[in-house]
Amino acid sequence: MKEMKLFLGPQHPGMHGNASVHMFVDGDIIKRSYLLPGMLYRGFEKQMERKLWVNNIALIPRVCVPEPDINEMAFASGAEKLLKLEIPERAHWIRMIILEFARISAHLMAYGGLGGPTGNYTLMYHAHADRNNILDIFEKITGARVYHQYIVIGGVRQDLPKGIEKDMHTFLDSLESRLKEYRDLGIDNASIIKRIKDTIMLPAEVVWELGVTGIGMRSAVNKAYDIRKVAPYARYDQVEFEVPVSDYSDARSRLDIKIKEVQQSINIIRQCLEKMPEGPVRVKPARGQSMRWTVPKGHVYSMVESSRGEFGYYMVSNGGTHPYRVGVRGASYPQGLLGIEKYLPGTRIDDAALWVDTMGICSPEIDR
């Protein structure tokens, strides 16, 4: 049979975000494929150069929509490195809480996303119901459900509201008790295991070839390659947590790690709430009004462990009020572009959506 052209996306329920996977299939087997990015291209790096250091905080969360806080963190900590700015201790801990909630939220979304390709919508509904609670907590802390604009250069924008700890504990307890249900409905569900076991493999060699990071890497190389452990930022060196790993990376093991990471994040947030000191939460990076804040000359690569892997900002300042150049390394760049080109072929079209889902591909951060 002749090769048939198929495209998954941009408007396609199986596609996460606005991108398109073009596939040439023979029967059900994909013979050749590539990702067509750029549907979400906004000229982000150019836009950042044109905005002040201070009002870049309005722009940066938009790089990655499901997990906006990592952008704020990477940008803010990069600028702090250039400024050689010490931020208040409490701010570090609040940042960690925010980042871990964001991680849980992103994992829940990705895990619930499993419901799309495998058809188990109940899983998706449950995951989103829980995720909505996180959004509500975020709204209470930061004043917005999705684009928090909370982690800023010099700390966090404002202190946690009173009584939020109780909300957090309530949510964490209820989520923790439901993790088993998520497993039952998802990766331990016999009908779904058929879809995710031994498919969509990511061997260790491929990891190194592509430069995949995050869960993809950890599930294949069996080592705790997590920036939070390897090169800790904020106060990750002062909390205890495990990095779940595996040496056999199929869709199932990656999802398994996701759920385990949710548990670890819950632990981290609990420790943060316990260990968090009182005190100020923000220092101003410079004197003067914010539009005249400048950042000293220099280059810095600032990285954060996102739910999908190493997320980095390459930031260059020429000493002015605007960044000179900001480059964004989307965590899903390697697997999203080269991965789909090289390693999606050979799987079946049923797997394509699942491939995109379990590899953790976030199209806005590829396009920017």
Site for other proteins in 164-203 (CB under 8 A): 181, 183-185, 187-195
Instruction: Write down the least CB distance from residue 272 to other proteins, Å.
Output: 19
Instruction: Write down the least CB distance from residue 147 to other proteins, Å.
Output: 7
Q: Is the dihedral of CA 161, 163, 167, 172 positive or negative?
A: positive
Letter for the amino acid at 213?
T
Residues 52-81 that bind other proteins (CB under 8 A): 52, 54-59, 62, 65-66, 81
Q: Extract the tokens encoding 171.
A: 């949510």
Q: Contact region for other proteins (CB under 8 A) — 95-103, 222-230, 235-243, 267-275?
A: 222-230
Q: Extract the tokens encoding 276.
A: 């968090």
Q: Does residue 353 touch other proteins according to CB under 8 A?
A: yes
Q: Which of 34, 54, 80 is nearest to 315 (CA)?
A: 80
Rounded to the nearest angstrom, the gap between the alpha carbon of residue 328 and the centroid of all alpha carbons in its chain is: 13
Letter for the amino acid at 124?
M
Judged by CB under 8 A, the residue of 71, 120, 265, 271 near other proteins is 120
Instruction: Write down the least CB distance from residue 15 to other proteins, Å.
Output: 8
DSSP state of 34: E
Residues 262-321 that bind other proteins (CB under 8 A): 280-282, 284, 286-292, 298-301, 303, 310, 312, 314, 316
Q: Contact region for other proteins (CB under 8 A) — 94-102, 135-143, 235-243, 265-273?
A: 135-143
Residue among 129 and 274 whose Cβ is closer to other proteins: 129
Letter for the amino acid at 284?
K
Q: Contact region for other proteins (CB under 8 A) — 50-58, 95-103, 235-243, 264-272?
A: 50-58
Q: For residues 269 and 99, what is the distance between their CA atoms, to the nearest angstrom?
A: 9
Q: Which of 266, 254, 288 is nearest to 360 (CA)?
A: 254
Judged by CB under 8 A, the residue of 31, 50, 275, 297 near other proteins is 50
Omega of the bond leading into 10 within 30 degrees of 0 (cis):
yes
